[in-house]
């Protein structure tokens, strides 16, 4: 490139004359990759953005089986609810205490339990077991309708593959509902989620790296980008490459296991594309949420970290025996109830409750991983976490009591400036989840004035 053309290009950068659409994608043969927010994109200046035009994101992460009473709220908080010291089972979240919002006495007055509570966690309705009726569409799908056409995907529904009894139960496996009777299908395989976001079809092209297919377009984009945008593009593409590596490794391990004589017949192994290591599986799914928000592929996502009555074994956690559901009934130690596996028993309630708490702690570590990743990515004047709201919790309080009050629930992020975190929110009366859902829809830019039975959004400022 001659000096004249180079000077003209630099002048265009300096003056902001070279602009691209927020929906610009890297194109390649048979695929397209959304881009993160760049300086050259046509976006309003941060000082002049009204809430309805902000690029805010909303994610709901669901866990079954509740938590033991006392294992959720902080050990210490200030006179105005300021978060100071989290409890031992949430200590992995301590570095992000200033980004968290916790709640006292929040509940779902019209739905509770493993079945009804799971199905209505995001709908705010009552549950009709015979008709499979959840009262209305879920909050995430109301938001998805608003964003339809603004992003590649209106929403992204994900789930960790369920384990144990009730893995095929519709109500225990559905938190997203298009309407009162129609659950939204969930994706459980990382590769399927990846392909949805980056349009790699079921052709021979799907076997190639999507980055290899768009590399020429990426190079052209970088040639016109500022130093800051080049760094953002490189970081983003490397994150995509890393997920491709993880998926490829999972497939390689699956093929290797199938070659081991007798092993495939002796054990029920995960399907291809799902990592055998449960922690790795969950973290890859958390990475998918990060990529989806970073690329603005969608602004709404849900992820079930198991079905609503999970019998998953967490024996890979030191000192833990028995299934998740059995551990949640921590007052029963004989190992002979209908909730038990008929093999495992415990010496005391204290021992069993500690195991239950360790499973709680393991899951908060996964949420801490997601928060860290979102907080590392710069966007605009802040981070991707600043522009997001992560909702994490369960439809049960204490698992043994099947409590419907004082549900474990936290928010992470600032919702584009609409949330003031770093505190515990409580009130003189029990707080309704429907009030919270209404508030989150409004802070995400969805123009609604009512959700389920609520017309009073919960103040988050």
Q: What is the pLDDT of residue 29?
A: 65
Same domain, 344 and 403: yes
* Cα distance between residue 236 and residue 151, in whole Å: 18
For the cut 90, the answer to whether the pLDDT of residue 265 exceeds it is no
Same domain, 109 and 234: no
Q: Which of 27, 26, 34, 31 has the alpha carbon at shortest distance from 200? A: 31
Which residue shows structure tokens 């953005």? 49
Q: Is 334 exposed, middle or buried (0-12, 13-18, 19+ CB in 10 A)?
A: exposed
Q: Which of 319, 393, 398 has the alpha carbon at shortest distance from 359? A: 319
DSSP letter string, 22-62: TT-EEEETTEEEE----TTB----GGG--GGGS--EEEEEE
Q: Is 434 exposed, middle or buried (0-12, 13-18, 19+ CB in 10 A)?
A: buried
Q: Give the CATH number, domain containing residue 356.
A: 3.40.720
Which residues does residue 383 pair with via DSSP β-bridges, in sequence order?
378
Same domain, 172 and 319: yes
Residue 414 lies inside a defined structural domain of this protein: yes
For the stretch 315-373, pLDDT in tens is 999 999 999 999 999 999 999 998 899 999 999 999 999 999 999 999 999 999 999 99
Contacts of 400 (CB under 8 A, 6+ apart): 68, 328, 329, 330, 331, 332
Which of 273, 297, 323 finishes a domain? 273
Which of 256, 273, 290 finishes a domain? 273
Q: Which of 27, 1, 39, 24 has the alpha carbon at shortest distance from 215? A: 27
DSSP letter string, 397-408: SSTTTT--SS--
For the cut 60, the answer to whether the pLDDT of residue 306 exceeds it is yes
* Cα distance between residue 288 and residue 160, in whole Å: 12
Same domain, 180 and 217: no
Residue with the larger pLDDT of the pair 8 and 182: 182
Same domain, 184 and 262: no
Q: Beta-carbon neighbour count of residue 376 at 10 Å?
A: 12
Q: What is the pLDDT of residue 239?
A: 83
Which of 273, 290, 310 finishes a domain? 273
> Which is it for strands 31-34 and 25-28: parallel, antiparallel or unpaired?
antiparallel
Same domain, 342 and 456: yes
Residue 17 lies inside a defined structural domain of this protein: no
* Mean pLDDT calculated for residue range 179-185: 96
Same domain, 222 and 349: no
For the cut 60, the answer to whether the pLDDT of residue 272 exceeds it is no
Helical axes 139-147 vs 433-443, angle rounded to 10°: 10
Which residue shows structure tokens 């994490």? 392
* Cα distance between residue 12 and residue 257, in whole Å: 55
In total, how many domains does the chain have?
A: 2
Structural domain harbouring 294: 58-188+278-461
* Cα distance between residue 254 and residue 264, in whole Å: 10
Residue 148 lies inside a defined structural domain of this protein: yes
């Amino acid at each position: 490139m001659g000096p004249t053309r180079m000077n003209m290009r630099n002048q265009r950068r300096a003056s902001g004359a070279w602009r691209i659409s927020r929906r610009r994608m890297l194109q390649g043969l048979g695929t397209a990759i959304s881009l993160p927010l760049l300086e050259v994109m046509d976006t309003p200046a941060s000082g002049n953005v009204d809430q309805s035009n902000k690029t805010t994101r909303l994610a709901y992460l669901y866990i079954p089986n509740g938590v033991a009473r006392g294992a959720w709220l902080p050990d210490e908080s200030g006179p105005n609810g300021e978060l100071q010291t989290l409890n031992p089972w949430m200590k992995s979240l301590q570095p992000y205490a200033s980004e968290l919002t916790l709640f006292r006495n929040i509940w779902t007055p019209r739905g509770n339990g493993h079945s009804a509570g799971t199905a209505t966690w995001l709908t705010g309705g009552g549950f009709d077991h015979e008709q499979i009726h959840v009262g209305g569409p879920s909050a995430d799908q109301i938001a998805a309708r608003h964003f339809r056409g603004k992003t590649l995907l209106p929403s992204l529904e994900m789930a960790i593959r369920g384990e144990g009894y009730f893995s095929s139960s519709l109500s225990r496996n559905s938190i997203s509902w298009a309407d009162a009777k129609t659950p939204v299908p969930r994706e459980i395989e990382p590769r399927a989620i990846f392909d949805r976001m980056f349009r790699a079809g079921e052709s021979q092209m799907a076997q190639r790296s999507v980055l290899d297919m768009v590399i020429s377009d990426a190079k052209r984009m970088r040639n016109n980008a500022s130093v800051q945008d080049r760094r953002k593009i490189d970081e983003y593409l490397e994150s995509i490459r890393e997920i491709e590596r993880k998926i490829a490794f999972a497939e390689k391990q699956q093929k290797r296991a199938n070659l081991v004589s007798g092993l495939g017949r002796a054990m029920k192994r995960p399907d291809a594309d799902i990592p055998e290591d449960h922690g790795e599986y969950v973290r890859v799914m958390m990475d998918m949420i990060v990529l989806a928000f970073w690329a603005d592929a969608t602004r709404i996502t849900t992820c079930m970290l198991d079905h609503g009555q999970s019998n998953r074994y967490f024996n890979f956690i030191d000192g833990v025996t028995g299934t998740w559901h059995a551990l949640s009934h921590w007052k029963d130690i004989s190992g002979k109830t209908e909730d038990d596996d008929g093999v495992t028993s415990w010496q005391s309630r204290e021992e069993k409750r500690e195991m239950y708490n360790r499973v709680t702690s393991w899951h908060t570590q996964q949420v801490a991983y997601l928060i860290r990743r979102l907080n590392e990515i710069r966007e605009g004047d802040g981070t991707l976490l600043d522009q997001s709201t992560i909702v994490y919790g369960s439809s049960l309080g204490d698992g043994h009591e099947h409590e419907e009050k004082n549900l474990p629930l936290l928010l992470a992020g600032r919702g584009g400036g609409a949330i003031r975190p770093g505190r515990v929110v409580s009130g003189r009366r029990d707080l309704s989840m429907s009030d919270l859902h209404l508030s989150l829809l409004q802070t995400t830019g969805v123009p609604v004035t009512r959700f389920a039975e609520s017309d009073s959004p919960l103040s988050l400022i």
